[in-house]
Structure 1
Amino acid sequence: MATSPLRTRLLPARRTYDGTQIAAQWALRNLGIFGDSAVAFLGPCDVPTEALHDIEDRRAGEFLRAREMLHLIVEHFGERLDGAVWRQRILVTLASELLRERRIGVRRSGNDLFVGRRKLSVSIASCGALSAKIHLGINIDPAGAPVPAIGLARLRVPARPFARSLLSDYAAECSSALRAQAKAIAL
Structure 2
Amino acid sequence: MKYKKLEESLLYDGSPIEPFWAFKEFKVKGSSILAWIGPMEIKPEELIDYEDVGLEIKSNKMIHFIIEHFDIQPADIKTCYHRQRLFVMIVKDILSELGIKTTRSGDDIYFEGRKLSVSIATCSNSSMKIHFGMNVKDEGTPDDVETIGLLECRKDLDYKKIQLLVDKISESYIKEIDSIEEDITKTKVF
Q: So what's the TM-score if we normalise by structure 2?
A: 0.92
Distance in structure 2 (CA, Å) of the matches to 1:81 and 1:179: 22
1:184 deviates by 1.5
Distance in structure 1 (CA, Å) of the matches to 2:18 and 2:112: 33
Partner of 1:178: 181
Q: Is the 8 A contact 1:112 1:120 kept in 2?
A: yes
Structure 1: unaligned runs, 5 residues or longer: 1-5
Distance in structure 2 (CA, Å) of the matches to 1:141 and 1:22: 23
1:158-173 to 2 correspondence within 5 Å? 158-173=161-176
Partner of 1:109: 105
Distance in structure 2 (CA, Å) of the matches to 1:83 and 1:112: 18
Q: Is the 8 A contact 2:111 2:153 kept in 1?
A: no
Highest RCO, 1 vs 2 (Cα 8 Å, sep ≥ 6): 1
Partner of 2:62: 69
Q: Identity percentage over the alignment? A: 34
1:112 deviates by 0.3
Structure 2: unaligned runs, 5 residues or longer: none
Distance in structure 1 (CA, Å) of the matches to 2:85 and 2:56: 22
Q: What number of residue pairs does the alignment pair up?
A: 180
Q: Which amino acid is 2:101 matched to?
A: G
Distance in structure 2 (CA, Å) of the matches to 1:27 and 1:169: 20
Runs of 4+ in structure 1 off by over 3 angstroms are: none
> Which of 145, 148, 155 matches 1:150?
148
- Provide the alpha-carbon RMSD of the alignment: 1.0
Partner of 1:130: 126
Q: Is the 8 A contact 1:21 1:73 kept in 2?
A: yes
Local SS of the residue matching 2:61: strand
